Amino acid sequence: MENTFQCLLVTQQEAGGFNLEVTQKSIQDLPAGDVLVRVRYSSLNYKDALSASGNRGVTRNYPHTPGIDAAGVVEESSHPDWQHGNEVIVTGFDLGMNTSGGFAQYIRVPAKWLVKLPQGMTLRESMTYGTAGFTAALSVAALVRNGVTPEKGPVVVTGATGGVGSVAVSILHKLGYTVQAVSSKTTSQDFLTSLGASEIIPRAEMEDQSGKAMLKTRFAGAVDTVGGNVLATVIKSVHYGGTVTACGMVNGGELPITVFPFILRGIQLAGIDSVEFPAEQRPAIWQHLATDWKPANLESLAHEITLPDLPEAIQTILKGKMQGRALVKID
């Protein structure tokens, strides 16, 4: 094992702004932790773009290496649960936020952040999903848990061409749901259809301006990834007893809605958090992603990039223009 390794480093400039460069770090620069992992793949999520552009709500101190996802092989471990050579996935917790992240050849993390790579999944596939896919799976799990079955009617996915959205469309299609996709991208019709969406709804149609407390019902359930007025419109459009999951806020952190859909239609709003999701419940979700929830088209959900490609990809995701997932090949 060499003492230095490659990583993406984000540095705050004296003149303001943040500089991104691929550079070398030494193993001693990594934080203390139980397990040193040689990273093979990472992936790009919206939160990484926030970290890489100086969002203090995500990352307090710079220089910093982002990357909330990593998949690789245990190099050294001082914890009895993990041995040299184990293939592992790390997503969420503090990785890439205030702990040096997965856009690097090595990470060092607490043992409880690691999930064993499930049978039926490669390291590459695990990062094709990454946090976005794990979040999509948590969202689908909430619908299933609340009894939104394919027979109940169509399920809508918002931000459908994005990371969470595209994986959600694919999983729901695999599970036999009729999936309707909300997207702003007029050029993504073919992509969304190939994932299994049966109808594409322009985003403008899901930004209700009528001020009505409830709208005509059209969905049995929803996976919302954008928040704001889109989420409010979705909640107002779900059938009696339906469930809407909420994980994101690119459309806004405010939720302009009344209590009426909840108290007159019994709608449930299920909050989704992938960051602090309990470690002991994670393997079951990854097991679904490795087996019965694995979309036939998983490969086509992501395009592969490398560390030097990240600055451009980060700009694309910040502008809301990313289609599918960006898989980062590290090693």
Which one of residues 73, 249, 279, 305 is an interface residue with ligand NAP (CB under 6 A)? 249
Which one of residues 67, 163, 196, 295 is an interface residue with ligand NAP (CB under 6 A)? 163
Angle at 92 between CA 34 and CA 70, to 5 degrees: 70
- Output the six-digit token pair for 112: 């409880």
If the CB atoms of residues 36 and 138 are measured against ligand NAP, the closer one turns out to be 138
**d(C-alpha 210, C-alpha 214), whole Å:** 10
If the CB atoms of residues 36 and 58 are measured against ligand NAP, the closer one turns out to be 58
Which one of residues 22, 111, 214, 275 is an interface residue with ligand NAP (CB under 6 A)? 275
**d(C-alpha 86, C-alpha 216), whole Å:** 52
If the CB atoms of residues 30 and 171 are measured against ligand NAP, the closer one turns out to be 171
- Measured from each CB, the residue nearest to ligand NAP is 162
- Is the bond preceding 118 in cis, omega lying within 30 degrees of 0? no
191 binds ligand NAP (CB under 6 A): no
**d(C-alpha 152, C-alpha 174), whole Å:** 16
If the CB atoms of residues 27 and 318 are measured against ligand NAP, the closer one turns out to be 318
Q: Which 300-329 residues touch ligand NAP, going by CB under 6 A? A: 317, 320, 322
226 binds ligand NAP (CB under 6 A): yes
Instruction: Return the axis-axis angle of helices 123-145 and 282-290, rounded to nearest 10°.
Output: 110
Q: Which 202-221 residues touch ligand NAP, going by CB under 6 A? A: 203
Token pair 């009729």 is found at 178
183 binds ligand NAP (CB under 6 A): yes
225 binds ligand NAP (CB under 6 A): yes
Q: Which 118-157 residues touch ligand NAP, going by CB under 6 A? A: 131-132, 135
If the CB atoms of residues 105 and 166 are measured against ligand NAP, the closer one turns out to be 166
What is the per-residue DSSP string for 272-297? Answer: --SSS--GGGHHHHHHHHHTTT--TT
Do residues 103 and 307 touch, judged by C-beta distance below 8 A? yes
- The residues, ordered by sequence, that sit 6+ positions from 46 with a Cβ below 8 Å of its Cβ are 162, 163, 248, 250, 317
How many Cβ atoms from other residues are within 10 Å of residue 15's Cβ? 5
171 binds ligand NAP (CB under 6 A): no
Binding site for ligand NAP (CB under 6 A): 45-47, 131-132, 135, 159-165, 183-185, 203, 225-226, 230, 247-251, 272-275, 317, 320, 322
